Chains A and B, each alone.
Chain A
Amino acid sequence: MLGGAGPELVTEEVKTGTTIIAVEFNGGVVLGSDSRVSAGDAVVNRVMNKLSPLHDRIYCALSGSAADAQTMAEVVNHQLDVHSIEIGEDPLVCSAATLVKNISYKYKEELMAHLIVAGWDRKDGGQVFATLNGLLTRLPFAIGGSGSFYVYGFVDAEYRKGMSRDECQQFVLNTLSLAMTRDGSSGGVAFLVTIDQHSTEEKIILPKHLPKFFNQ
């Protein structure tokens, strides 16, 4: 909890520390997250990977309550395995997103988690879905978590349609770096996952290799 005397703050929502982002490019998606898990003022895990696989070419980015988000991801992972055996081929990204949305919506009072689902499938290529509070919407890119508020302006200004894979990775790293500097609940290392038709590549970027800006 925020300690000390201070102005009375209106609590609308409980936000927990994270910055997550997913961007679509022609042929795949890039997902990124920070690695800090905080309980109040303490950092309980400084190297948590918040990018969780749902299937070979479908990942989700976790934000909100760590327990709720992880459980949702595990449940959907299982449901997707069953589904993909039933249909005999790899599942669609929108199927994965729909399964996440179903849980989010049905248990919206009890759960406090937002998962961004992103991946590649044969039908529509790279796709990013946001599932906040039980809505399901496909977007060119999505950001989430407490750190995302500080970078809304930056992503609005910098996102361009038709970026290449490398430009998307750089865009994700820049966004994460800026958010992690300003948000006390985001930090640590940056995790990056790039998914395309051929492979799923996971990378860890240490703080010293993150892009630096004016006041750093």
Chain B
Amino acid sequence: MERRCTGSEVKGVSTGTTILAAIYDGGVVIGSDSRASIGGEYVSSKTINKVIQVHDRIFCCMSGSLADAQAVTKAAKFQLSFHSVQMERPPLVIAAATIMKELCYKNKEDLQAGFITAGWDHRHGPQVYVVSLGGMLVSQPVTIGGSGSTYIYGYVDAKYKPNMSREECLQFATNALALAMGRDNVSGGVAHLAVISETGVEHVVVPGNKLPRFNHE
């Protein structure tokens, strides 16, 4: 146990956020907190929505610098709608994720943002993709991101099961966000969730006072 620099043990270069996405049997749940902060001292927005719709059945969650993330998602939304017009059918989730990845990778020097892309398409069903800071693209059944995610790695590892029902997955995501918001001072506010499946998209907003409570001394 020698002295070692690990950097800021929680944040890396993320600025206050907790985001997650998880696949259930027939769809995917994607969610985030709603706090935007400056330097960890001032909450500049209590109700920002970090879950952005980039197409009918494809959503993105952003973490890191919100300015960079908003710029990237805007560009991706445009490119994706153009792509879908060319293909004459709804885009695949991996197409959306690849567009984000190309933007992140080509501009890695200038950008500081990471994304979770989740959605449903006709070819592969529900999918979750992670585009991390340098532009790596990885597909996972469940993933978490942002500064608050550090605190819930243990919870997500313990509680996620493949092929959960929609209600179980929604409860799992709400619990995970509530736990992270309880421990991370730069995550908070309300929980924004989107449930995406073949039949459509449902937005769920859980206000702070309705979030599950856990034993906090």
Contacting residues, chain B, for A132 (C-beta < 8 A): none
A63 at the interface (CB under 8 A from B): yes
User: Which of A81-89, A95-103, A172-180 forms contacts with chain B?
Assistant: A172-180
Bound Cα distance from A112 to B151, whole angstroms: 22
Asked if A7 and B8 make an inter-chain contact with CB atoms under 8 angstroms apart, the answer reads no
The reply to whether A156 and B215 form a contact with Cβ atoms under 8 Å apart is yes
Are the CB atoms of B157 and A9 closer together than 8 Å? Answer: no
A69 touches B160 (CB 8 A): no
Q: Is B175 an interface residue (CB 8 A)?
A: yes
Chain A CB within 10 Å, residue with most, of B1, B3, B158, B176: B1
Cβ A178 vs Cβ B153 within 8 A: yes
Contact across chains for A10 and B7 when beta carbons are under 8 A apart = yes
Set A15, A140, A178: member contacting B158, Cβ < 8 A: A178
Q: How far is the CA of A10 from the CA of B10 in the complex (A)?
A: 10
Quick one: given A152-B151, A152-B183, A178-B154, are A38 and B9 in contact (CB under 8 Å)?
no
A16 x B153 contact (CB < 8 A): no
CA distance A62 to B175 in the complex (A): 31
Does B78 count as interface, using CB distance less than 8 angstroms?
Answer: no
Q: Would A153 and B183 be within 8 Å (CB), given that A2-B7, A9-B12, A66-B2 are in contact?
A: yes
Give Cα A139–Cα B217 distance, bound, in whole angstroms.
8
In the complex, the chain B residue whose C-beta lies closest to that of A68 is B1
The reply on B90 being an interface residue by CB < 8 A is no
> Is B179 located at the chain interface by the 8 A CB criterion?
yes
Q: Tell me which of A9, A157, A175 has the highest count of chain B C-beta atoms within 10 A of its own C-beta.
A: A157
Least distance between B177 CB and chain A CB atoms (Å): 10
With the chains together, A160 CA to B133 CA distance in Å?
A: 37
Interface flag for B182 (CB, 8 Å): yes
* Cβ of A18 under 8 Å from chain B: yes
Q: How far is the CA of A22 from the CA of B176 in the complex (A)?
A: 23
A64 adjacent to chain B (CB < 8 Å): yes
Asked if A151 lies at the interface with its beta carbon under 8 angstroms from chain B, I say yes
Closest to A1 in B: B5
Bound CA span A44–B4, Å: 13
In the assembled complex, the CB of A62 is this many whole angstroms from the nearest CB of chain B, namely 8
Is residue B6 within 8 Å, beta carbon to beta carbon, of the partner chain? Answer: yes
A153 touches B151 (CB 8 A): yes
Given the known inter-chain contacts A17-B1, A38-B2, A159-B215, please indicate yes or no for A154 contacting B7, CB distance below 8 A. Answer: no
Interface string of B191-217 (1 = CB under 8 A from A): 000000000000000000000001111
Pick the residue among B3, B155, B215 that contacts A153 (CB under 8 A).
Answer: B155
Q: Could you say which interface size class chain B belongs to?
A: 35 or more
Give the CA-CA distance A14 to B1 in the complex, in Å.
11
Contacting pair B5 A181 (CB below 8 A): no
A-side contacts of B182, CB under 8 Å: 156
Q: How far is the CA of A8 from the CA of B217 in the complex (A)?
A: 34
Q: Which residues does chain B contribute within 8 Å of A10, judged by CB atoms?
A: 7-8, 11
Interface residues of A in 31-54 (CB under 8 A from B): 37-40, 44
Complex Cα–Cα for A1 and B2 (A): 11
| Pair B158/A213 contact, Cβ less than 8 Å | yes
Q: Are B157 and A215 in contact (CB under 8 A)?
A: yes
Closest to B180 in A: A153
Does B12 lie within 8 Å of A153, measured CB to CB?
no
Q: Which residue of A lies closest to B112 (CB)?
A: A7
Instruction: Tell me the nearest residue of chain B to A17, going by C-beta.
Output: B1
List the 10 shortest-distance A-B pairs measured between CB atoms, nearest first: A9-B7, A151-B154, A154-B154, A153-B152, A153-B179, A178-B154, A153-B155, A66-B1, A39-B2, A150-B153
19 of the cross-chain contacts (CB-CB < 8 Å) are A7-B13, A9-B12, A12-B9, A14-B3, A16-B2, A66-B1, A66-B2, A151-B155, A152-B179, A153-B152, A153-B155, A154-B157, A156-B155, A156-B183, A157-B155, A157-B214, A161-B215, A179-B154, A216-B157
Additional pairs, 10, CB under 8 Å, beyond known A151-B153, A156-B155: A14-B5, A63-B1, A65-B1, A65-B2, A69-B1, A150-B154, A152-B151, A157-B159, A179-B154, A215-B157
